[in-house]
Structure 1
Amino acid sequence: MLVSRSLGALGTAVLAGVILAGCSTQANRAPVEDRGQSASSSSTVDVKSLPGAENAGKPGYYTIKPGDTLIKVGLEHGQSWKDIARWSNLDNPNVIEVGQVVRVVPPGRDMASSSSGGSGRTVAPVVVGGGTAATTAPVTSTPAAPSAPVAKGADDVNFIWPASGSLIAGFDEARNKGYDISGKAGDPVVAAADGRVVYAGAGLRGYGNLIILKHNNTYLTAYAHNQSLLVKEDQSVKKGQKIAEMGSTDADRVKLHFEVRRQGKPVDPSRYLPSR
């Protein structure tokens, strides 16, 4: 069980379910993000004694906050939670503590110039459509205005649409971190590009049954609210391969919530998907 401990006060508040599917073939339960907790709610432990404290504030490192899990940290830094555990030399990757510092950039990379680094970086909570308490904005059928196309680069990816349904909610940086796509229960969800499964489980509140694919050092895609997951962590997948079946887990209706993340930051999918 992964336990994210808020220095003596958070433990009883966060025993909910985050699934670390990669730890075994059977899903493991661990804490989910608790939006009601504050980092100031506990300060009784000397953070200087926590693992990695000597790296606090350095580029390429991140300080664990209340509600964090390695899955959440990985998604928000564009990395696999398993890689973060390995880079951070965690004695027990199933236990992290508030104030602990983990490495979120691979060893050997120029961390000073990496946009994914920065200990203690404040990242806005992940909020997706799905009828959770954190989602209060009404669903709109009109997507946000398309952004300018992304400049081509070494890590450029040619994405395809992950489902064939119509768009029911567009990208909104404050309220919806991706696209919501309609469909029927059991409709196929496909990989938007070649990649590797870095997470498959139901561990992030608001996402339901979730798959995260890593395509290269720059891009991740996320596929939420699925009825069933058809791939496992560390599995390689091909563009167009069926990876899940559409569902309504942790959502108010059947839909696919799809995110494109560039170095961990959610970006407007309209800049990457082909026009229909």
Structure 2
Amino acid sequence: MSFKTGVCIAVALLLTACATPRHRAPVEDRNSASGRASTGSAVADPNKPPPPGIENAGKPGYYTVKPGDTLIRVGLESGQNWRDIMRWNNIDNPNILEVGQVLRVVPPGFDPTGAATKPVAAAKVEPRPLDVKPGIGALPPALEASAPVVVASAASAPVAPPPVLPPPTPPREGDDNINWMWPAGGAVVSGFDESRNKGLGISGKPGDPVYAAADGRVVYAGSGLRGYGNLVIVKHNNSYLTAYAHNQTLLVKEDQTVRRGQKIAEMGATDSDRVKLHFEIRKQGKPVDPAKFLPPR
């Protein structure tokens, strides 16, 4: 075969290839479980029921569960005992929470908005003489001249009283009057920053005593909250609780009453890069700067 003939055949094959449709990969079904695209976005399953309590999302006194949340964290963020939250929401297994689930974090009957129920006004009753014709059911002359008869209009029919709701339990007067003390004797190595450090870091040596900063009741003692290590949470009243993290040893248990200055733990480095006490004060679940509450040294 001559060189010219070979060139002609090659050109013909090339033209044929250009005219033939190229093979395409099958279209990926991004809505199927097996063909989900690896773009980081998941398609909601329309057959999956909505999370429990979703109808209360965004309402005062309710908390929407986020990824990584536990009942311990929900209690810390809301300033409540996690066992109370479990009871208020009829949760059987505290280890199972669903992302998007909405939890009640105030006692039943408590109105977090502080709105008072408006009383229903009583129907007005006006006394006026009965208009009757003489001789037809007329009153005796003595009464007709002196005693008006009370006539109730249709609007004055007995009205059922409004239901009596349990009184709300806002922070009691004097909740702010707590006699605080420092929970450890070391130097402050990290200050309060609401976005990055929600308390104070107090230095020390392994085994140094950790004290209750005020009278209260232990609502948590354990290591179930990631980032806190061995943790003690003490609730002082309706408004305030304190958290003591990274301990090597816990000396109290849940539901135990503690007194100001009582040794509740020994300092350590659990879930921390150094030995220290991470100490938080929270008011109604919101972290506040402990340095503004503790006495000057």
Q: Aligned residue pairs: how many? A: 202
- 1 CA distance for matches of 2:291 and 2:98? 37
Q: Does 1:244 align with 2:245?
A: no
Corresponding letter in the other structure for 1:155: D
Q: Secondary structure at the match of 2:197?
A: coil
Corresponding letter in the other structure for 2:175: D
Alpha carbons 2:231, 2:246 under 8 Å: kept = yes
Offset of 1:68 from its aligned partner?
1.0
1:260 alignment partner, one of 274, 281, 284: 281
Tell me which residue corresponds to 1:59.
60
Kindly indicate whether structure 1 or structure 2 has the higher relative contact order, using CA contacts under 8 Å at least 6 residues apart: 1
- 1 CA distance for matches of 2:194 and 2:52? 33
- 1 CA distance for matches of 2:239 and 2:97? 26
Tell me which residue corresponds to 1:122.
none
Q: Does 1:168 align with 2:169?
A: no
**Structure 1: which 5+ residue stretches go unaligned?**
1-8, 10-37, 115-151
Offset of 1:55 from its aligned partner?
2.1
Listed as ranges, the matches of 1:34-73 within 5 Å are 43-44=44-45, 49-73=50-74
- 1 CA distance for matches of 2:78 and 2:207? 31
Alpha carbons 2:70, 2:225 under 8 Å: kept = no
The structure with the larger Rg is 2
- 2 CA distance for matches of 1:207 and 1:41? 31
Tell me which residue corresponds to 1:274.
295
Tell me which residue corresponds to 1:74.
75
Q: Which consecutive segments of 4 or more residues in structure 1 shift more than 6 A?
A: none
Alpha carbons 2:70, 2:95 under 8 Å: kept = no
Q: Secondary structure at the match of 1:112?
A: coil
Q: Secondary structure at the match of 2:113?
A: helix
> For each residue in 1:122-171, what CA deviation from the matched residue of structure 2 results, as whole angstroms up to 9, or x when unmatched?
xxxxxxxxxxxxxxxxxxxxxxxxxxxxxx95211121000011111111
Offset of 1:42 from its aligned partner?
6.6
**Structure 2: which 5+ residue stretches go unaligned?**
1-32, 34-39, 116-171
Offset of 1:58 from its aligned partner?
2.1
Tell me which residue corresponds to 2:175.
155
Tell me which residue corresponds to 2:108.
107
Listed as ranges, the matches of 1:1-276 within 5 Å are 43-44=44-45, 49-113=50-114, 153-156=173-176, 157-276=178-297
Q: Secondary structure at the match of 2:85?
A: helix
Summarize the Cα distance change of 1:270–1:94 in structure 2 as closer, same or farther, 3 Å threshold: same
- 1 CA distance for matches of 2:94 and 2:251? 25
- 2 CA distance for matches of 1:186 and 1:111? 41
- 1 CA distance for matches of 2:48 and 2:109? 26
Offset of 1:69 from its aligned partner?
0.8
For the aligned residue pairs, the C-alpha RMSD in angstroms reads 2.2
TM-score calculated relative to the size of structure 2: 0.63
- 1 CA distance for matches of 2:80 and 2:47? 28
> For each residue in 1:39-91, what CA deviation from the matched residue of structure 2 results, as whole angstroms up to 9, or x when unmatched?
x7573366764322232232211121211111111100101111101111223
Alpha carbons 1:47, 1:99 under 8 Å: kept = no
Summarize the Cα distance change of 1:41–1:105 in structure 2 as closer, same or farther, 3 Å threshold: farther
> For each residue in 1:247-275, what CA deviation from the matched residue of structure 2 results, as whole angstroms up to 9, or x when unmatched?
01111111111000111111101111000
Identity, % of aligned positions: 70
- 2 CA distance for matches of 1:184 and 1:259? 19
Q: Secondary structure at the match of 1:176?
A: coil
Q: Secondary structure at the match of 2:218?
A: strand
Q: Secondary structure at the match of 2:195?
A: coil
Corresponding letter in the other structure for 2:94: P
Summarize the Cα distance change of 1:184–1:96 in structure 2 as closer, same or farther, 3 Å threshold: same
Offset of 1:199 from its aligned partner?
1.0
- 1 CA distance for matches of 2:75 and 2:189? 28
